[in-house]
Structure 1
Amino acid sequence: MTNLTPSVHPLLATAQALFPRLSARSDEIEGARRLPPDLAVELAREGFFRMMIPESLGGLELHPALSFQIIEALAKADGATGWCVMIGASTALTSAWLPEPAAQAVYGAPDAITGGMAAPFGRAERVEGGYRVTGRWSWVSGAQHCQWLAGGAVVTEGGKPRMVAEGIPETRLCFFPAQSVVLHDTWFASGLCGTGSLDMEVKDLFVPETYAFSLLGPRRVNAPLYGFPFGLLGMGIPAVALGIARRAIDEFIALAHQKTLVLERRQLAARPAAQEAVAVAEATVRSARAFVLEALNALYAESTRGPVSLHSRADLRLAMTHATRGAARAVDGLYEAAGGSAVFRSSPLQRCFRDVHVATQHAYVAPPTLELTGGLLLGLDVPAPTL
C-alpha cells in the first residue's frame, strides 16, 4: 500500500525554503528599519503579495488558511518580513472592491505592492469627479516599497461629514500613487523594527471617484474569499505572532541542549522549569493555531454558501485575538526560562520577545476585541461594524 503525502502548495514551499536566507538577514533588516529593496522585489516576484488578489486580475486568490500558513512560515524566519508580506497581501484584498479600471491600474502589474492604513484618519472632501483628500496616517508598514498606498477618510461636503446614519459618518478607502504621498520617518520601535511602519501624509490630493470605495459596499468580485473582508484584513496578525512563537520554541530547544548550568552541573534541558516552559509553549501555540485555522476554514466554507453570519465573523476575531496574545505568552515563558542569555542581541529569543509584543499592540487583536466578542457570546446587542 502506498502512503500518500499531502502536497505542499508551491508558494508555501517557497516560504519554507526562504527560512535560512531570511533568518541570516534579520540583523540587516532590523538595522535598516525596512525591508531591503532587493528582498521586497524578490518577494513580489515570487507572488507573495498576490495571495489575495482575484484570479481575474492575475492573482492567486488562495484559500485564507493557506495564506495564513505562508505568512506564518515567513514570520518564523523573520518577523518583519512576515509582517510586511501580511500587510501587502491583505491590502491587495481591496482589489475585489475597486472598479475594474482602477483595479487594473493598481494591481495589474505582476510585481505590484500596496499598503496603507484603513482607519479613517483622513478627510475626503467631495468634489466633481472624486475627492480632495487630506490626512496623515501612522503604522503604514512597508510603505517604502509600495507603488500605491491607501488611506481611510471621512467623506465631507462643505467641510462637514456626510452621515450614513445617526452618529455614523460615511468613509472611503482612497488609493494614492506612492509618488503623491509624503512619508515621515517615525518608525523607531521596540520590535518589528524592519517593517518600516512610517507615517504617510497627503494634502488636498485629488482622488478620482473610481479610486475610492467602502469595504461595506458591494464588491465587484463575487467569490468566497471576499465574503468577510474585515476578518481577512487582520488574520495575518496571528499568523505573524504564531510564526514568531514557533521560532522561539525552536530556538529555546536548541539553547536548552547547548547551555550548561554551571552551578547545577547539568544542561538547561534537564531543568524541570525549562521542560514545563517548552511544554506549555508548545501546547499554547498549537491549540491557538488550531482555533484560528478552524475559524478560517469554517468562515470560508460558509462564504461559499452565501453571506457569513455575525457569529462566525466574531468567532474568527476571537480566534485571532486569542492566538496573538497566546503566542506572546508562550514567548514570555520561554524568554524567562532561558535565563540571562536571552537578553543579549545575539540571542534570537530577545528578537522574538520584542517582535511579538509589537504584534499584540495592533487594534485588531487588542483587549477590547474580547469585550466585543464576549458581549456577542452573552447575547448582548453589541455594535460590531468592524467584524
Structure 2
Amino acid sequence: MTSLSPHPLLATALELGPRLSARSAEFESARRLPPDVVAELTRAGFFRMLIPEAYGGLELHPALSFQVIEALSRADGAAGWCAMIGASTGLATAWLTDAVAREVFSSPDVITGGVAAPLGRAERVEGGYRVTGRWPWASAGHHCHWLVGGAVVTEGGNPRFVREGIPETRLLFFPAEAVTLHDTWFSMGLCGTGSGDMEVKDVFVREDHAFSLLMPPRITRPLYGFPFGLLSHAIPAVALGIARRAIDELITLARQKTVLAERRLLAARPSVQEAVAEADAEVRAARAFLLEVIHATFDEATKGPVSMRARADLRLAATHGTRAATRAVDRVYEAAGGPAVFHTNALQRCFRDIHTATQHAMVARPLLEITGGVLLGFDPPLPTL
C-alpha cells in the first residue's frame, strides 16, 4: 500500500522541527520567539491555517490544523503554542464584516493574538465601545499586528445581561499600537511564548470591530460551524506533541545511558520498558479519541448546527487528551531518573511545559464536570461549550 504524502503545511512543520528543537534554550532565555523564527512561521502560513480562503487563508480541516500544531509542539512547545494562538485567533475573521476582515488581514504577514476571557469592560457609546481592561496570557503579543480582548458589555457603567446571571460579552479587535504589553511572563514552563499581560485604557473600538462567538458567523462554511471555542482542539494538540517529544527523549536516553550498578543500559530496565509502553499507549489512545471526535464534529458541522452533545464530546476529548499527555510525560520523566533534571535534557522542558499548559482554563478539570453533566442529561450552567 502506498502511503499518502502529508499536506504541504504539515510537511513544512515536520521539516522545520529539528531547527526549532535546536533553538529551544534560546527561546526560553529570551522568553519569546525571536523575530526570524516568527518570520519563518509567518511565511510558511502557520498563522493563516484557519482564516477563510476568501481572505488569503488556508481554511484547513480542524483535524489537519491539529496535526500541524502537534508537529510544531513536538519540536518545541513554545513554538507550537504561539502558532496555535495566532492560527486560532484568525478564526474571528468569519464573524467580522467583509470590510473589517479585509482591513485586519490586509497582508498575508498579519499576525493576530490576544485573550478571549472577558476580563475587560466595554462601555456602550455611540458607534461602538470604550474599552478598558488587562488580560494575562497574551501569548506572542509582541509579534502581533492586532490583538483581541474579551470584555463584559456595560451601559451607564452597569453590565448588560443576555439572560439572568449571564452578562453580555464581546471580543474586540485592537490595533497593536493601542495596546500596552507588560513583561510579566516569568513562568515555570512554555517560557518562550512571551505570554505577558496586555492592557488597554479607554480605547474606542468601532461596533464592527467587535463580535461574539455566540452569534452565527457571517461566513457559513463548515469550518466556522465547528465549535472551536478558539482553543478547544488546539491546546491538546500542543500537549500531545510535547508528550510525544518526551517519549522520544526517554527512548534516546535509555538506549545510550548505562546504569552502572546494574551493568546494563537503562533501556533494559523493566520499569523503563513499562513506562515507555504505558506512555505510548496513553498518548496514542488520547490522540485517536480526539481525532475521532474532531472528524465526527466537523461532519456534523457540514450538515447544520453542532449539537450540545457533540460540543461536550469535543471538550471532553480535548480535556482528556491534555491530561493523558501530562500523565505520559510524568511517567517518562520519572523513568529517566537523574539526567532528566538538567537543562541540557529536553525532558525537563517537556515536564515544565506540559504542566503549564494544563493550567489553561480551556482544559482545566472543571470542564470534566460540565461535560459529564451533559452526558448525564443536564444543561451546561454556562455558555462554555
Measure, in 1, the Cα distance between the counterparts of 2:209 and 2:233: 25
What are the Cα deviations for residues 206-262 of structure 1, in whole angstroms up to 9, with x where unaligned? 001110111111211000001134445321100000000000111100100100000
Moved more, 222-231 or 328-337: 222-231
1:173-184 map, 5 Å: 173-184=171-182
Measure, in 2, the Cα distance between the counterparts of 1:379 and 1:172: 29
What are the Cα deviations for residues 137-156 of structure 1, in whole angstroms up to 9, with x where unaligned? 00000000000001001111
Specify the alignment match of 1:20 in structure 2. Answer: 18
Specify the alignment match of 1:224 in structure 2. Answer: 222
Specify the alignment match of 1:266 in structure 2. Answer: 264
Measure, in 1, the Cα distance between the counterparts of 2:264 and 2:167: 64
Specify the alignment match of 1:213 in structure 2. Answer: 211
What percent of counterpart residues are identical? 70
What are the Cα deviations for residues 110-148 of structure 1, in whole angstroms up to 9, with x where unaligned? 011100011110011111111100000000000000000
Measure, in 1, the Cα distance between the counterparts of 2:369 and 2:339: 38
Measure, in 2, the Cα distance between the counterparts of 1:125 and 1:261: 65
- Aligned pair 1:382/2:380, yes or no? yes
Given that 1:150 and 1:176 are in contact with CA atoms closer than 8 Å, whether structure 2 keeps it comes out as: yes
1:152-231 map, 5 Å: 152-231=150-229
Specify the alignment match of 1:242 in structure 2. Answer: 240
Gaps of 5+ in 2: none
Measure, in 2, the Cα distance between the counterparts of 1:290 and 1:279: 16
Matched position secondary structure for 2:82: helix
Counterpart residue identity of residue 26, structure 1 = S
Matched position secondary structure for 1:121: strand
Specify the alignment match of 2:28 in structure 1. Answer: 30
Q: CA deviation at 1:384?
A: 4.4
- Aligned pair 1:326/2:324, yes or no? yes
Specify the alignment match of 2:102 in structure 1. Answer: 104
Given that 1:16 and 1:74 are in contact with CA atoms closer than 8 Å, whether structure 2 keeps it comes out as: yes
Specify the alignment match of 2:231 in structure 1. Answer: 233
Given that 1:54 and 1:95 are in contact with CA atoms closer than 8 Å, whether structure 2 keeps it comes out as: yes
What are the Cα deviations for residues 41-76 of structure 1, in whole angstroms up to 9, with x where unaligned? 111111000000001111100000000000000000
Matched position secondary structure for 1:18: helix
TM-score, length-scaled by structure 1: 0.98
Matched position secondary structure for 2:231: helix
What are the Cα deviations for residues 168-223 of structure 1, in whole angstroms up to 9, with x where unaligned? 11111000000110011000000000000010100000001110111111211000
Measure, in 2, the Cα distance between the counterparts of 1:116 and 1:282: 34
Matched position secondary structure for 1:328: helix
Measure, in 1, the Cα distance between the counterparts of 2:169 and 2:378: 27
Matched position secondary structure for 1:217: coil
Counterpart residue identity of residue 66, structure 1 = L
Tell me which of 318, 328, 352 is aligned to 1:354: 352
Matched position secondary structure for 1:233: coil
Counterpart residue identity of residue 237, structure 1 = I
Tell me which of 3, 6, 11 is aligned to 2:4: 6
How many residues are matched? 385
What are the Cα deviations for residues 245-285 of structure 1, in whole angstroms up to 9, with x where unaligned? 00011110010010000001100000000000000000000
Measure, in 2, the Cα distance between the counterparts of 1:259 and 1:7: 35
Tell me which of 58, 69, 72 is aligned to 1:71: 69
Measure, in 2, the Cα distance between the counterparts of 1:232 and 1:167: 23
Measure, in 2, the Cα distance between the counterparts of 1:229 and 1:151: 19
Q: How big is the alpha-carbon RMSD for the aligned residues of Structure 1 and Structure 2?
A: 0.9
1:258-297 map, 5 Å: 258-297=256-295
Measure, in 2, the Cα distance between the counterparts of 1:56 and 1:210: 19
TM-score, length-scaled by structure 2: 0.99
Counterpart residue identity of residue 116, structure 1 = G
Measure, in 1, the Cα distance between the counterparts of 2:169 and 2:228: 15
Given that 1:58 and 1:108 are in contact with CA atoms closer than 8 Å, whether structure 2 keeps it comes out as: no
Specify the alignment match of 2:112 in structure 1. Answer: 114
Measure, in 2, the Cα distance between the counterparts of 1:15 and 1:235: 18
Given that 2:227 and 2:311 are in contact with CA atoms closer than 8 Å, whether structure 1 keeps it comes out as: no
